[in-house]
A and B are shown apart, each in its own frame.
Chain A
Amino acid sequence: MSTEVKLTCITCPVGCALTVRLDDAGETTVTGNKCPRGAVYGTKEVTNPTRVVTSTVRVAGGTDQVVSVKTATDIPKGKITDCMRALEQVEVQLPVHIGDIIVENIADTGVDIVATRSLR
């Protein structure tokens, strides 16, 4: 017995319609992808769905400035809310440089939060 899941690849704006077949041995085959990234996405989405989270953190000192940030790599979907709640508590000191690690190991995902812009 194998199961089939139909998905839209979200990796790029093309949005290929993927079919992911999951067989008894836990092996996946992806079809419908126009490029290899779609196969990676399709497999992950049925085994361990993940997302890159982008958000902002406040600049310390009570200004109305914020710095945009992201998870350095994708994190499990189930961890997105924990990640966001943890970010609410964070304040950064200026200057910030693009790529700076703002929070290490956010919400125990093993993934760091990095700045996506520089601000002085």
Chain B
Amino acid sequence: MSRRREDIVIIGGGPAGLAAALAAREAGIRKVLILERDKELGGILNQCIHNGFGLHTFKEELTGPEYAEKYIQMVLEQQIPYMTNAMVTGIEVLENNDKCVTAMNKEDRLVEITAKAVILAMGCRERPRGALNIPGTRPAGIYSAGTAQYYVNMEGRMPGKEVVILGSGDIGLIMARRMVLEGAKVHCVAELRPYSGGLKRNIVQCLEDFDIPLYLSTTVSEIHGKERVEAVTLTRVDEHGVPISGSEWRVPCDTLLLSCGLIPENELTIGLGAQMDAKTGGPVVSEHLECSVPGVFACGNVLHVHELVDHVSAEAEKAGRFASEYVLASESKTCKSEVADASERREEGWE
């Protein structure tokens, strides 16, 4: 096991973590470390190869990987240290209020990092399919839309050829277009609610452009097939979401993609004992983006699911600055002469 000491440890190397690290460095914090469990920085943006990112931040339309690379480049230029393949397994508050972050790297070696402040930037993940409550067996060929996106965009393999998508969230809509472009037949998108959960622009450019029907107030009531999905039964539902009997129809397919929304990834936050917000799925934070545990800050999708990555970056910058203030303030308690310095910085970087 190895040990290190840092001022600020950032958990997650997605757009939130990267922007927070840059802001902390800019606020004058020297010892910043980013921990990322994946093999590269960039977070979920690496698999979002479509465009539409960065109109606010960079005033140009970028793809996900392009947006990520701009931030990664800045982090490299600032020589901010990071560890990839480093999965954080726990955060503890020490007696002197410092935090101890435990991470495991690829070789199963433990790293223990003591830090004055921690920034949570773990992002979100998709709702597990178990929560979907579709009766029947679980044959192969059922994927979450995000998993399918990873296969197609990161590994270059197609999960199937004949596709039905349940749920009209943006990832599902974007995957409908992606699968069609790669030669699959997307039969339809079914949405339980009477309206789509996705952006209108994605309905237009991902479904209407390719004549893919969107059935509202419709759900999958049965999945057919033993080894592999062979077909699904779609059913209309009434205004209470109850299936209307007699409205069923069968659609042959080999793949069912589930696009049923995202939830913040907060096992670590809960383990830390931070107070959670039942509505957002993220921790309760002050106006300084600080959790109920002093010195622990949160930003990006771990806090609540953001529609735009630009908003994630802006929020993360603030978290980086607030965490820096916290560190500088705790230092100034021991060294009076630094107080003036810190408050000067405070005024500079304020929005």
Hey, which bits of chain A sit against chain B, CB under 8 A? 7-13, 15, 51-56, 58, 64-66, 68, 70, 77, 80, 84, 98, 116-118
What are the residues of chain A within 8 A of B157 when measuring CB–CB?
A: 64
Residue pair B205, A10 in contact (C-beta under 8 Å)? yes
What are the residues of chain A within 8 A of B68 when measuring CB–CB?
A: 117
Residue pair A15, B199 in contact (C-beta under 8 Å)? yes
Residue pair B200, A66 in contact (C-beta under 8 Å)? no
Residue pair B55, A12 in contact (C-beta under 8 Å)? yes
Which of B61, B201, B307 has the most C-beta atoms of chain A within 10 angstroms of its own C-beta?
A: B201
Interface status of B46 (Cβ within 8 A of chain A): yes
**In the docked arrangement, what's the CA distance between A98 and B66, Å?**
8
What are the residues of chain B within 8 A of A51 when measuring CB–CB?
A: 205, 209
Which of A51, A64, A68 has the most C-beta atoms of chain B within 10 angstroms of its own C-beta?
A: A68
**Separation in Å of the A115 CB from the closest CB of chain B?**
9
Residue pair A68, B181 in contact (C-beta under 8 Å)? no
Residue pair A56, B153 in contact (C-beta under 8 Å)? yes
What are the residues of chain B within 8 A of A58 when measuring CB–CB?
A: 156
Q: How large is the interface on B (under 10, 10 to 19, 20 to 34, 35 or more residues)?
A: 20 to 34
Contact of A54 with B156 at beta-carbon distance under 8 Å, contacts A9-B201, A15-B199, A98-B69 already known: no
Hey, which bits of chain B sit against chain A, CB under 8 A? 46, 49-52, 55, 61-63, 65-66, 68-69, 152-157, 181-183, 199-201, 203-205, 209, 307-308
- 7 nearest CB pairs, A to B: A117-B65, A15-B200, A66-B156, A68-B49, A10-B201, A116-B63, A10-B205
Apart from A10-B201, A15-B200, 13 more pairs, CB < 8 Å: A7-B204, A13-B201, A13-B308, A15-B199, A64-B155, A64-B156, A65-B156, A68-B63, A68-B153, A70-B51, A98-B65, A117-B46, A117-B68
**In the docked arrangement, what's the CA distance between A66 and B46, Å?**
11
**Separation in Å of the B180 CB from the closest CB of chain A?**
9
Which of A9, A10, A55 has the most C-beta atoms of chain B within 10 angstroms of its own C-beta?
A: A10
Contact of A13 with B52 at beta-carbon distance under 8 Å, contacts A68-B63, A98-B66 already known: yes
User: Which A residue's beta carbon lies closest to that of B308?
Assistant: A13
What are the residues of chain A within 8 A of B308 when measuring CB–CB?
A: 13
**In the docked arrangement, what's the CA distance between A77 and B182, Å?**
16
Contact of A10 with B65 at beta-carbon distance under 8 Å, contacts A54-B51, A64-B157, A70-B51 already known: no
Residue pair A66, B55 in contact (C-beta under 8 Å)? no
Residue pair B181, A80 in contact (C-beta under 8 Å)? yes
What are the residues of chain A within 8 A of B183 when measuring CB–CB?
A: 84
**Separation in Å of the A119 CB from the closest CB of chain B?**
10
Residue of B49, B61, B203 touching A55 (CB-CB under 8 A): B49
**In the docked arrangement, what's the CA distance between A63 and B342, Å?**
51
Residue pair B49, A56 in contact (C-beta under 8 Å)? yes
**In the docked arrangement, what's the CA distance between A77 and B156, Å?**
24
Residue pair A55, B181 in contact (C-beta under 8 Å)? yes
Residue pair A84, B181 in contact (C-beta under 8 Å)? yes
**Separation in Å of the B178 CB from the closest CB of chain A?**
8
User: Which B residue's beta carbon lies closest to that of A45?
Assistant: B204
What are the residues of chain B within 8 A of A12 when measuring CB–CB?
A: 52, 55, 201
